[in-house]
């Protein structure tokens, strides 16, 4: 522990105290966290989400899973379910894994110092997860397995403590699956710092939804690292209505040629909610295509952050990457921060990005009102259409319907 | 009956005056045409009646069957019976035409204290109306006006008018961008809606439309005022002589 930056804030002091008796195999990760401490505004990747300033407390890690009282918005979906309560596997709320899928808890090696490290980057929030996560859920989907039902991983928080869930998924060649990570529950003072790593083989079709319907007072930091082989398709979705402070990080890397990733996201925020979506798509090999679409609806004094980076490595020719962020700001007090970036080290590529921030189109609103729709209803219809664009790539009708209903509910609450 | 009295209107920021003491009365069942050069304020008049807030009404009043429209929100005006067929109908991506039609129809019914239509009843009405106007069913599933041709957008406006059954239908240059076949279809659609109770304000730059929608009265608008009123023969006179006379008259 030679060159450690002195840590000053109370929250950081609390984290250090919690790390005092840390298991030897978590030490490396903890030290990685200590090197940077909580990231702050002078750290580029956290400029708009200054965790050192925003994180008000570091509750102690949960000792055991509590009692689950929340009902998942996905409860009616015909799915296989795995439930992690306060970061711990809960057999009574989990179903038997389907054929071709194995699920087990590993108590060792939550450190990301190995092969996964490059997928997940050296992010301090991920290091913190590796340090405090006391077990990992390993899911292996065998080659050629085609899951008919979605596999829903419920991550439920029951009290004002911290949980550091880690889920590692391997998807074999020619397999097809849809995994949902559904962040639910939580109370004021609860901190969730979760990591999902997915290693996908060749000829894979993998769909993924990260749903944040946590309590509006919780802090929810989630990271996803995905690495994909050749001739595969990844479709990722993110949907946020919950959390006081949330950040969803996506680190996606193409490792095989002729693969495709479609990533879309919708965040509906109000009051003082702060939600950050940070994305790095790494085209490490040629001939891959990526499409990113991030939508924010910001009411009251909420803050939205989109940081997106497309990296095209040397030699990754014929890369086709397009990234778009659109935000609708409903009140003057709300803020959208956009930071799209391209880092291109190959010459034969087609890459682009765009970002728009604005109010609802007045002329469109007038057109709808002239047809008899009251203002609130006209706005809701336009916002529903806006959010719909970010949801339309979700293949599963039932789950798409649930998200549309959540958006509708949000809009109704707004006009009520 | 629509009564417009001494209407003075400027752009919202007050930088430019557009309507300068306009007077116009349209009786129940009457089809009134307004003709006038570009920039004379025809679209502005239609927007002010419908309630667009880009404009500031400096003076005057607009009454529909005695109700003061200027005090009402645009949606309340629609429920009260105002329908504006836009010169440039807007595209609304992500809102299916069918969804929009249903929302509009039910909102107006609600605004008038009527029950919502049942889905089969609604579908029946839309299908019948669309068929009359030569609107294919698959267009109704697409986003409202998204990717529609100019003619298709105008037909969609008339379909909306047919479904919403207004007491005054304002058609702003509905003929622009229409070929002769589309013009006939649209005119037939409008004529089918004519009744003793329903009046129309047909705004056009050219006399051609008035061969198909034959007006009871023709008004000439220039520089934000009605400068001459006559019967349908006035339209022919304008077609022959152009608007030059009116522009100078009004300026004098
Ligand atoms: N919202 C607006 N902002 C600025 N100028 C406007 C606006 N609406 C109309 N105008 C101006 O007012 C005048 C009348 O326009 P308009 O009502 O569209 O005329 P018409 O429909 O007869 O061609 C034109 O000079 C036009 O440029
Ligand atoms: Mg005009």
Q: Which residues of A199-237 are buried (b: 16+ CB within 10 A; e: fewer)?
A: bbbbbbbbbbbbbbbbbbebbbbbbbbbbbbbbbbbbbb
Token pair listed for A75:
């409860």
Do B31 and A345 meet the contact criterion of CB atoms below 8 Å apart? no
Interface pTM, i.e. ipTM: 0.95
Give the span between the Cα atoms of A167 and B125, in whole angstroms: 54
The answer to the question of residue A380 being in a domain is yes
Q: What pLDDT, on a 0 to 100 scale, did the predictor assign at position A25?
A: 82
Q: Which residues lie closer than 8 Å to A118 by C-beta, 6 or more apart?
A: A253
B28-42+80-248 has which fold? Answer: Rossmann fold (3.40.50)
In chain A, the N- to C-terminal Cα span, in Å, equals 55
DSSP sequence for A392-412: TT---HHHHHHHHHHHHHHHH
Number of A/B CB contacts below 8 angstroms equals 78
Weakest-pLDDT range from A13-27, A202-216, B43-57, B155-169: A13-27
- Cβ(A269)–Cβ(A238) under 8 Å? no
Query: Alpha-carbon Rg of chain B, whole angstroms?
Result: 18
pLDDT at residue A110 is higher than 50: no
Token pair of A129, please? Answer: 């997860």
- How far is Cα of residue A364 from the mean position of the Cα atoms in its chain? 32
The shortest CB-CB distance from A373 to any of B50, B83, B107 is to: B107
Q: How far is B156 from chain A (nearest CA, A)?
A: 13
pLDDT digits (tens, 9 = 90+) for A298-316: 999 999 999 999 999 999 9
CB B232 within 8 A of CB B218: yes
Contact B73/A375, CB-based, under 8 Å?
Answer: yes
pLDDT tens digits, one per residue of A133-145: 888 899 999 999 9
Residue A93 in domain: yes
Nearest CA in chain A to B88: A367
* Nearest CA among B140, B90, B108, B97 for reference residue A360: B90
Task: Judge whether A386 is closer than 8 Å to chain B, CB to CB.
Answer: yes
Query: A225, A256, A287: which is the final residue of a domain?
Result: A256
Chain B residues close to A293, C-beta within 8 Å = none
pLDDT at A2: 46
Residue whose CA is at the smallest distance from ligand 1 atom 3: B11
pLDDT tens digit string along A79-105? Answer: 999 999 999 999 999 999 999 999 998
Q: How far apart are CA A236 and CA A178, in angstroms?
A: 10
Q: Is A416 on the interface with B (CB under 8 A)?
A: no
pLDDT per position as a tens digit, B99-134: 999 999 999 998 888 999 999 999 999 999 999 999
Which two structure tokens, joined as six digits, stand for A181? 């990570």
Mean of pLDDT values over B73-102: 94
Give the Å distance between the CA of B235 and the centre of ligand 2: 18
Q: Please, how many CA atoms are within 13 Å of residue A304, restricted to the half-sphere of its CB?
A: 30
B146 shares contact with chain A (CB less than 8 Å): no
Which among A240, A256, A272 is the end of a domain?
A256
For the whole model, what pTM was predicted? 0.89
Nearest ligand, CA of residue B22?
Answer: 1
- Ligand 1 binding pocket, CB closer than 6 Å: B 11, 16, 18, 36, 38-44, 54
pLDDT digits (tens, 9 = 90+) for A21-61: 888 888 888 998 998 899 999 999 999 999 999 999 999 99
CB contact under 8 A, A378 and B75: yes
Number of structural domains (chain A) is 2
* Whether residues A43 and A183 fall in one domain: yes
Q: Is there a single domain that holds both residue A373 and residue A247?
A: no
- A3 within a domain of the structure (yes/no): no
Q: Which atom of ligand 1 is nearest to the CA of B46?
A: 17
Q: Is B73 on the interface with A (CB under 8 A)?
A: yes
For chain B, give every domain's residue range.
Answer: 28-42+80-248
Domain holding A227, by residue range, is 10-256
Contacts of A91 (CB under 8 A, 6+ apart): none
Collapsing DSSP states into helix, strand and coil, what is residue A157? Answer: strand
φ, ψ dihedrals at A164, nearest 5°: -125, 65
């Amino acid at each position: 522990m030679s060159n450690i930056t002195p840590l000053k804030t109370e929250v950081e002091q609390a984290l250090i105290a919690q790390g005092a008796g840390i298991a030897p195999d978590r030490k490396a990760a903890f030290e990685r966290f200590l090197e940077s401490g909580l990231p702050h505004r002078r750290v580029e990747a956290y400029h708009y989400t200054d965790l050192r300033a925003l994180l008000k407390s570091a509750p102690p890690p949960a000792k055991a899973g509590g009692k689950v009282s929340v009902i998942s918005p996905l409860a009616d979906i015909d799915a296989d379910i795995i439930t992690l309560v306060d970061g711990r596997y809960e057999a009574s709320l989990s179903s038997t894994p389907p054929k071709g899928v194995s699920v087990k808890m590993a108590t060792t090696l939550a450190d990301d110092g190995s092969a996964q490290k490059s997928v997940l980057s050296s992010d301090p929030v991920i290091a913190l997860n590796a340090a405090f996560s006391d077990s990992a859920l390993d899911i292996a989907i065998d080659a050629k397995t085609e899951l008919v039902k979605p596999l829903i991983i419920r991550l439920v928080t029951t009290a004002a403590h911290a949980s550091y869930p880690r889920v590692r998924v391997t998807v074999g060649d020619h397999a097809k699956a849809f995994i949902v990570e559904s962040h639910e529950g939580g109370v004021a003072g609860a901190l969730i710092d979760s990591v999902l790593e997915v290693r996908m083989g060749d000829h894979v079709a993998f769909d993924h939804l990260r749903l944040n319907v946590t309590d509006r007072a919780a802090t929810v930091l989630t990271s996803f690292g995905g690495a994909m082989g050749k001739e595969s398709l990844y479709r990722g979705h993110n949907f946020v209505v919950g959390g006081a402070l949330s950040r969803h990080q996506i680190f996606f890397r193409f490792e095989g040629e002729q693969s495709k990733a479609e990533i879309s996201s919708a965040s509906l925020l109000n009051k003082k909610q702060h939600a950050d979506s940070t994305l790095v798509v790494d085209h490490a090999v040629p001939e891959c295509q990526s499409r990113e679409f991030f939508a924010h609806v910001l009411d009251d004094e909420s803050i939205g952050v989109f940081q997106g980076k497309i990296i095209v490595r040397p030699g990754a020719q014929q890369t086709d990457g397009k990234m778009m962020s659109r935000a609708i700001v409903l009140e003057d007090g709300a803020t959208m921060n956009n930071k799209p970036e391209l880092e291109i080290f190959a010459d034969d590529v087609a890459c682009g990005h765009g970002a728009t921030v604005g109010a609802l189109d007045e002329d469109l609103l007038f057109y709808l009102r002239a047809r008899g729709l009251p203002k609130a209803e006209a706005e809701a219809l336009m916002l529903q259409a806006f959010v719909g664009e970010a949801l339309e790539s979700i293949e599963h009708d039932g789950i798409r319907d649930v998200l549309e209903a959540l958006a509708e509910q949000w809009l109704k609450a707004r006009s009520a | 009956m629509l009564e417009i009295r001494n209407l003075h209107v400027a752009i919202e920021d007050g930088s430019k005056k557009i309507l300068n003491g306009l007077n116009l009365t349209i009786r129940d069942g009457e089809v009134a045409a307004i003709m006038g050069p570009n920039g004379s304020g025809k679209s502005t008049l239609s927007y002010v009646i419908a309630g667009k807030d880009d404009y500031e009404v400096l003076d005057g009043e607009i009454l529909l069957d005695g109700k003061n429209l200027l005090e009402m929100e645009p949606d309340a005006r629609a429920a009260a019976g105002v329908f504006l067929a836009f010169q440039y109908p807007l595209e609304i991506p992500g809102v299916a035409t069918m969804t929009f039609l249903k929302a509009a129809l039910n909102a107006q019914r609600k605004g008038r204290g009527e029950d919502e239509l049942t889905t089969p009843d609604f579908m029946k009405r839309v299908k019948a109306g669309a068929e009359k106007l030569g609107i294919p069913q698959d267009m109704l599933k697409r986003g409202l006006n998204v990717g529609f041709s100019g003619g298709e957008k105008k037909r969609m406006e008339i379909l909306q008018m047919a479904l919403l059954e207004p007491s005054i239908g304002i058609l702003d240059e509905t003929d622009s961008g229409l070929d002769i076949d589309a013009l006939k279809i649209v005119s037939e659609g409008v004529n089918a809606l004519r009744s003793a109770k329903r009046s129309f304000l047909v705004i056009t730059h050219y006399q051609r439309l008035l061969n198909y929608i034959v007006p009871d009265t023709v008004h000439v608008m220039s520089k934000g005022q009605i400068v001459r009123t006559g019967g349908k023969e006035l339209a022919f006179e304008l077609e022959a002589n152009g608007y030059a006379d009116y522009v100078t008259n009004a300026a004098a």
